[in-house]
Structures are given as C-alpha cells and as structure tokens.
Structure 1
Amino acid sequence: MGHHFELHKDIELAATPEQVWEAIATGPGIDSWFMGRSEVEAVEGGRTSLTMAGHVNEATVTAWEPGKRFANRTEPGPDGSFMAIEYLIEGRDQGTTVLRLVQSGVLGDNWETEYEAMKVGWDMYLGTLAAYLSHFAGRTGTPVTAFRPGAGAPDQVWAAVTGAFGISGPVREGEPVRLTVDGLPPIEGVVDLAGLPTYFGVRTADALYRFLHSGSDRGDTLVLGHHIFGAGQDPARTDQAWQNWLATLPIG
C-alpha cells in the first residue's frame, strides 16, 4: 500500500528571483545543478522530462508563474505512486531570494528509505544550486553522470574518494584538493560540500563535482553528478573519462 508524504526545504540564495527562476524552471538551468538532463515546456499544462541512465521520467507542469511559482507532477503509477514538486520564489532585500521547495506524493512499500534518501539528497542539490548561483550564474553547465552499483559501504567508499583528492583526515569545507583523471585536465579546487556519509562536493574555477552514496539499503551505489562550465567541453569524452575513473577507483 502506498504511503503519502510531504517534504519541505527552504534556502536563501545570493541571486535575484529572475536568476533563481532561470535555474529551476528551464532545462539548461536545471542541468547546471540537478541530476541528469532536463527539458521544460514553458507553459502550464506543458511537459517536463528528466533523463538519467537511459531512463526518462516525465511530468506535467501544474503551475507556471515566472519569477514566483513553478510546479510539476508525474502521472500515478500502477501502484498509485506519484511525485509532485513545487517551487515558491520570494525576493528579499539586497538581491537575495528565498526558495521554498515542497515535494509530495505517494511512495511505495520501501517508503521510509526513499523518504530519507530524498530528504538528504535535497540538501546536496540545494547546496549545489546555491553554489551555482553564487559562482556560475548566467552560465550553463554540462552535466556528467556516472554510477558504480555495489561500490562498498560508505566508510570504504568515502575513504577512496576523498583519498583520491588528497584528503587524509576529516573532510572540511574550504579544504584545498587536487585530483587527476586520465584524459582530463588536472582538477584543483576546494571542498564546498561535506555531507558525509551521504555526499561530498568540490568546486573549481570551472566546475562543480558531486559524489553521492546511495546507502546500503539502496545498493551501495556511488553516483557522480558533475556540472562542467568550462568552454570547449566534449561531453562524450568527459562522461567516458569519469566512468572509467569510477570503475577503476580502488575501494576497500
């Protein structure tokens, strides 16, 4: 039997309402901070799509008020499950904006695990949105996604990931890091998200690198969801380089 849920998240962003709207209600904007690749039909009743790992998730736009409110909802599945997302935008003084997120719907039998994953996952994605608007506003990111199912328990995975960045002790935001990925330029930046044991993020001059562990209840999958803002990117080459890095990362 399905379980109804409602999840609320608020965040203050160093951006105007117009900049926030572009980031949360257009395909290129969403691609610059969220998972996968998105498309949005800019009208109430239009369609949205999220493509990741070859799977396309579609929804209907249920609210379209530019600069104020954007919402969409998926069709119910055979078990009655569905997902609805609403964004409310409120401008504040000195060019800042409060974004309120409400996610609701019906989850399946494993609803508790799914709910906890969404709650923590939104912390990473909204943190990435804040970083995007603070450091890359007006630019469009190229999303990079890679997966390693059964990567290992969180402590093993994070030891490998942070070790690859040259971190040997506790992970702290602001800590300088460096990573070499075969086929790509050296990566030099700082830790800007330290949400272990679930997520870890690095910001450079031209990218936001995001690493997420699904948890043991969801397959111990290590997920890479990066956003590259540098010019002259070859998406296919970059995707393959990161998938190779992920597949060969020694864990445990």
Structure 2
Amino acid sequence: MPVKKDPSGRRSVEAEVEVPGSPEQVWDAIATGPGISSWFVPSQVEEGVGGTVKAQFGIGDSVSKITEWNPPHKFVATSQDLGENAAAVATEWIVEARDGGTCVVRVVHSWFADTDQWDKDFEGHEHGWREFFRILRFYLTHFRGQHGSLLQVIPMLPEPKDTAWAALMGAIGLPLSPKVGQRIASSKGAPSFSGIVEHVGESAYPESLFVRLDEPAPGLAHLFAMAMGGSVFLIVRLYLFGEKPAATVAREEPAWKAHLASLAETVKDGKMQK
C-alpha cells in the first residue's frame, strides 16, 4: 500500500476487498457501531455529518469526526491520530456494488504533509487492513446481518516477538505451527477454545492465526503478536455469535484474563522458562 503524493501536498494510501452482500448489508457492517464491532474492534458510531466514530483498540482509542455521510455508499471521518500538532487524517469508506451479489469495500487514508515523516506508518497499514478485511469477508460470508460480541484480551510480554508468541500458544495449548484445515483446541485448564484453522501467518508476519470457532460459541478467533516500543502485545480476539453472544463474552472473558495474567512468568530475559 504505497503512499501516493499529489503536487498539492496531499498524501494517501488505500486498501480494498471484495465481500459478499448487498450495499445495504455491507454498510451495516462498516458504518454502524454494532456492525463494526462484529469484525473490527469495539466501536461506537454517531451516524451522520457531525457525528463521531470511536474505535477501541485495547491499547488506545481512535476518535474521528464524520464530515461526509452518504449511505450506503460512502462516509468520511477525520481524526488527529498523528497527534494534536500534526496533520489531520481523513479516512474514506467506500462501498461499490458488483455483479453477483458482492461489493468492493475501499478504505482511503489521506493527509497533507510536506515531509515523509508518517509515510512508513501508513504503508504499514497494508498488513493490518489485510488482516481485518479477512475478518470482514468471513463475517459477511457466515454471519451477515448478525451482530456479535468481541472477547478481547491483550497481555504484554518483552521482546522478542517469536518467544512471546510461543508463550501465548503454549499457555492456551495450541500448536506452534498449525496447518490450514487442522482442528485445534485448548488444553485442559485453559479457557474453552476449539475450531478449524482458517489461515496462518505469512512468512513476513508469522505470528498470526485465524480459527473458525465452534467453542466457546460459533465465530472467529484472531490471535496475533505486535511488537511496539520494546514490548510485544499479544492480541487475542474472539468474535462470537450464536445465541446471546454478549452473555457468552461475559461468562468467558474473566477466565481468559485470569489464565493469561500469569503469562509473563513463562518468559524471562527473552527466553522461555521451563
């Protein structure tokens, strides 16, 4: 997702994905709080121009103001995610209908700058959007029209990332190198977790795993590791559906938090402890 530079000083990056569903169904998924929360992160949306979008990533919130609202085709929201003294970032969400009952969803980030200071950060968004778009496609394929609940736990360990990832997999009881199509399940004493592996991390980002869940409820799990500032954030996200997903999250989340609270004890000086 290379940065495009205009003579005016405008810079932009974009990503897109083709997903099943009508424009109205896709709009519900990308432009309403319950819809966004079902595949992205917990979010609240005050719909319409002048409203706000608040996305809770677990390691910080992003708040933006809606400047354009044209359902079910496009909305634009502007934020100060680069900092109060930096350029504002406009994010466009565009939905284009295609033949065969699908739509293309396009996200465009744009900002004005006369330096390359933030270019690498935005170029790095490509991997993040690729991961989230995979979840969006899964959601619209299997749970379209449903609003699920997210179970999110984010323990933190010191670098290196591969050691921290191995600690997480070991704590849950999951294989370190699972195969697509393999059925996996948590070990005895770990929180309820079982399903079929849908996708594993690519060579550039190996610490990532997608699982189509049947326990603790129908849904999708996305587990990945992200290094930042000398630490590794281990993100565990379970997008749960089925009957009363919010109640399932309320029941299961304390067990996940308690089980992973002692994860740091398994790693010392970047090495696994026996």
Please identify runs of 4+ aligned residues in structure 1 that moved more than 6 A: 106-110
**Residue number among 185, 202, 214 corresponding to 2:211 in the alignment:** 202
Distance of aligned partners of 1:19 and 1:190 in 2 relative to their CA distance in 1, 3 Å threshold: same
Residues 165 and 207 in structure 2, CA contact (< 8 A), matched pair in contact too: no
User: After alignment, is 201-210 or 175-184 more displaced?
Assistant: 175-184
Question: Max radius of gyration: which structure?
Answer: 2
Residues 148 and 247 in structure 1, CA contact (< 8 A), matched pair in contact too: yes
2-structure distance, mates of 1:28, 1:153? 36
Tell me the equivalent position of 2:99.
93
Tell me the equivalent position of 1:20.
26
Distance of aligned partners of 1:21 and 1:182 in 2 relative to their CA distance in 1, 3 Å threshold: farther
TM-score normalised according to structure 1 size: 0.83
Distance of aligned partners of 1:218 and 1:10 in 2 relative to their CA distance in 1, 3 Å threshold: farther
1-structure distance, mates of 2:158, 2:152? 16
Shift of 1:219: 2.2
Tell me the equivalent position of 1:70.
75
CA deviation profile, 1:161-216 (whole Å, cap 9, x unmatched): 44545425x443322211258585x3221112322424221111412111121125
Which fold has the larger relative contact order, with Cα–Cα distance below 8 Å and residues 6 or more apart in sequence?
Answer: 1
Distance of aligned partners of 1:130 and 1:210 in 2 relative to their CA distance in 1, 3 Å threshold: same
RMSD (CA atoms):
2.9
Distance of aligned partners of 1:11 and 1:111 in 2 relative to their CA distance in 1, 3 Å threshold: same
2-structure distance, mates of 1:181, 1:97? 42
2-structure distance, mates of 1:100, 1:211? 24
Residue 136 (str. 1) matches residue 150 (str. 2): no
Tell me the equivalent position of 2:4.
none
Tell me the equivalent position of 2:166.
159
Tell me the equivalent position of 1:127.
134
Matched AA of 1:235 = V
3-state SS in 1 of match to 2:256: helix
2-structure distance, mates of 1:27, 1:65? 16
1-structure distance, mates of 2:62, 2:184? 35
Shift of 1:68: 0.8
Identity of aligned residues (%): 30
Matched AA of 1:38 = S
Tell me the equivalent position of 1:222.
234
1-structure distance, mates of 2:161, 2:112? 28
Residues 179 and 200 in structure 2, CA contact (< 8 A), matched pair in contact too: yes
Residue 248 (str. 1) matches residue 262 (str. 2): yes
User: After alignment, is 64-73 or 207-216 more displaced?
Assistant: 207-216
CA deviation profile, 1:59-87 (whole Å, cap 9, x unmatched): 11122111211221114743214332211
1-structure distance, mates of 2:15, 2:148? 24
Matched AA of 1:73 = T
Distance of aligned partners of 1:139 and 1:95 in 2 relative to their CA distance in 1, 3 Å threshold: same
Tell me the equivalent position of 2:86.
80
1-structure distance, mates of 2:122, 2:196? 30
TM-score normalised according to structure 2 size: 0.77
1-structure distance, mates of 2:208, 2:11? 23
2-structure distance, mates of 1:208, 1:187? 11
Shift of 1:234: 4.3
- Where does structure 2 lack aligned partners over 5 or more consecutive residues? 1-8
Residues 157 and 164 in structure 2, CA contact (< 8 A), matched pair in contact too: no
2-structure distance, mates of 1:101, 1:131? 18
